[in-house]
Structure 1
Amino acid sequence: MNQSILFPDLQDWDSQTQTILFPAQVQGANIECLISLNKLTQLSSVTFEQDNDGLEAQALAVFDEYRFDIEEEVEMLIEQESFDEQGRVVLI
């Protein structure tokens, strides 16, 4: 694990885009990261409920369960400088 990339234990659900937003800290700078519900499904093989309240809790639980794998993929993308046009790392 690259110690210059840190992941605070912070994450938020965006119900409009159905993504989880979480930060990565690289040499003191925050980089916004997103993972889509579709990507969470690919990682976990979980079928998500489409009820908004249940969906948020379920998505955050799956994110927490697969956090290490997600962080490894984000680290690789940061090292490759694979950012979107807004400077974010997006896993879709």
Structure 2
Amino acid sequence: MNQSILFPDIQDWDDALNGVKFPAQQAGALIECVASLEYLSSLASEPLTTTQQALAVFEQNRFEIEELAEQLIEEEEYNAEGLVELRA
């Protein structure tokens, strides 16, 4: 694992993004990441209907989610708002 990208144990549901938003830090820079509800539902292999379910799936799959986010950060795959998006 690349130790230059760190993921604090912080995550929150974001209604506007319809996903779980979580930060990453690279060389002192804060990078916002979001795991979409569709992506989390695909990890759970079932539709998620509440924010609590989405946050629980995020926690259960944190390592996989952070690995994918790390890869996207290294490839500089940011959306127009500067976020790293994990989508199904």
For normalisation by structure 2, the TM-score amounts to: 0.92
Larger Rg over CA atoms: 1
Which position in structure 1 is the counterpart of 2:14?
14
- Contact map agreement 2:20 2:55 (CA 8 A) in 1: yes
Work out which of the residue numbers 51, 75, 82 in structure 1 matches 2:70: 75
Which string of whole-angstrom CA distances, capped at 9 and with x for unpartnered residues, describes residues 51-70 of structure 1? xxxx1111101000001000
Which string of whole-angstrom CA distances, capped at 9 and with x for unpartnered residues, describes residues 17-61 of structure 1? 321100000011100001111000112213323xxxxx1111101
Q: Matched residue pairs, number?
A: 87
In the alignment, is residue 86 of structure 1 matched against residue 75 of structure 2? no
For normalisation by structure 1, the TM-score amounts to: 0.88
Which position in structure 2 is the counterpart of 1:2?
2
Which position in structure 1 is the counterpart of 2:52?
57
Provide the secondary structure at the position in 2 that maps to 1:20.
strand
- The letter for the 2-side match of 1:8 is P
- Root-mean-square deviation (CA, aligned residues, Å) is 1.1
Could you tell me how far apart the structure 2 residues matched to 1:90 and 1:48 are?
Answer: 18
Could you tell me how far apart the structure 2 residues matched to 1:33 and 1:16 are?
Answer: 13
Unaligned runs of 5+ in 1: 50-54
